[in-house]
Structure 1
Amino acid sequence: MIGRIRGLLVEKTPGHALVECSGLGYEIDIPYTTFFHLPEAGQEVTLHTHFAVREDAQSLYGFAARLDRNLFRLLIKVNGVGPKLAIGILSGLDAQQFIRCVEARDANALVKLPGVGKKTAERLLIEMTDRIGQLEGQFLPFAPGSAAGSDTTSAVPVGPDPREEAEAALIALGYKPQEAAKAISKVAEPEMSSEALIRLALRNMIPAG
């Protein structure tokens, strides 16, 4: 089991990170809540990881916070929730927000997440109510260079078109193109980075509760 990786962040895109450690490059799937806390490429990063082995694939999932990783491990034990859906859930809600939804029995916030229908939301509330007690006392140590608590709305854009990049990221997460475009247009301001656009769009689409 690979539980943690510390190394050089070579590349980062919404949903993915490439980390070099001891001469090896690890391709890691990450939720957007972790993407927002990654440092710039070329800097050191630490990710808490979960290694999943299937007959047809081996996948490594990474999280800036140990609490998010541990919640991911609980989510994939829920009937009907696989790693892809668990990553989608943690892309819209970090662990603390998800825990608040469960404690408040807030199914409406959960069904706003791509791939989570009414039945899945109800199943999550039922099965996770007893499990979130395993997360008590844990904390959220983010990677160095993180932008926790900051919207970075004045960040310099990275890439050819931050709005297109942000829309593509939301579509990849499971939102319809029209929903993604509308969400981005509501929050877009001049010189905003794709990271800031995604963060604010998700915040508007999925209330913190």
Structure 2
Amino acid sequence: MIGRLKGAVDEVGADWVIVDVNGVGYHVTCSRRTLDALPEIGGAVTLAIETKVSDDAIRLIGFASELERDWFRLLLGVQGVGTRVALGVLGTLTPADLARAIALEDKKAVATAPGVGPKVAARIVSELKDKAPAGSSLAAVLDQGAAPAAASAPDGAARDAISALVNLGYPQLQAASAISGAAKKLEPGASAEQLIRQGLKELAR
């Protein structure tokens, strides 16, 4: 199986790129976001690859990062999500945006991706709410603005509250969602203790 390609951009199409690796051109299907980030023809490129094997073909799916590829694999595990839909999601949302939408149960954000209706968006949020790729830390997501709903609480309080829920055994994304929901119901400046109490109520719903 091919896990990574490193070469030069030879040709670019609507949803694919040909990567020249020592004279061999590999046809790689990519999301719109990955294609937009490619260098000009002849430029050096490295893509993380997911190899899809079927009865009549071997298909290479390319990603700008291994984290993006990991999210792709998770998306494929959701009922009703195939390669086209998964690439549509990743072409619309960055890994951080997707993690934020799942943590905050923002189905509308997920539904902005082409081919994703309300039902599929709801399944993505529901089935991935307790999952995140290895290396997709909550801290990194929060640093990129992943919890705007918790903005009314001090950053330190929100982080401490999330950390406390994680220490209690709750998955990071689920803890973030609970604290974000708690922050919406509390007064600005709520303490970590208040957020934790309200967050536990959110989790018990």
- Counterpart AA for 1:66: E
Partner of 1:20: 20
Report what 2:3 is aligned to.
3
Determine the structure 2 residue equivalent to 1:69.
69
- Contact 1:17/1:29 (<8 A) preserved: yes
After the TM superposition, which residues 115-134 of structure 1 pair with which residues of structure 2 at under 5 Å, given as runs? Answer: 115-132=115-132, 134=134
Q: Does 1:60 align with 2:60?
A: yes
1:132-182 superposed Cα distances (whole Å, 9 cap, x missing partner): 15342498xxxxxxxxxxxxxxxxxxxxxxxxxxxxxxxxxxxxxxxxxxx
**Alpha-carbon separation, structure 1, partners of 2:56 and 2:128:** 29
Identify the structure with bigger relative contact order (alpha carbons < 8 Å, sequence gap 6+): 1
CA contact (8 A) 2:71 2:133 kept: no
2:78 counterpart residue number: 78
Query: Partner of 1:39: helix, strand, or coil?
Result: coil
**Which structure has the highest helix share of the two?**
2
How much has 1:104 moved relative to structure 2?
A: 1.0
Matched residue type, 2:18: L
* Higher-Rg member (1/2): 2
What TM-score comes out, normalization by structure 2 length? 0.63
Letter in 2 for 1:21: V
For the residue of structure 2 that corresponds to 1:131, the secondary structure is coil
* Cα distance in 1, alignment partners of residues 113 and 37 from structure 2: 21
Task: Indicate conservation of the 8 Å contact 1:51/1:59, yes or no.
Answer: yes
- For structure 2, which runs of at least 5 residues remain unmatched after alignment? 141-205
Unaligned runs of 5+ in 1: 140-209
Runs of 4+ displaced beyond 6 Å:
none
Distance in 1, matches of 2:109 and 2:20, equals 37
Change beyond 3 A, Cα 1:9–1:133: closer
State the match for 2:51 in structure 1: 51
**Residues matched between the structures, number:** 139
- Percent sequence identity over aligned pairs: 37
Amino acid in structure 2 at the alignment position of 1:93: L
TM-score w.r.t. the length of structure 1 is 0.62
- The alpha-carbon distance between structure 1 residues 73 and 22, as it changes in their structure 2 partners (threshold 3 A), is same
Matched residue type, 2:40: E
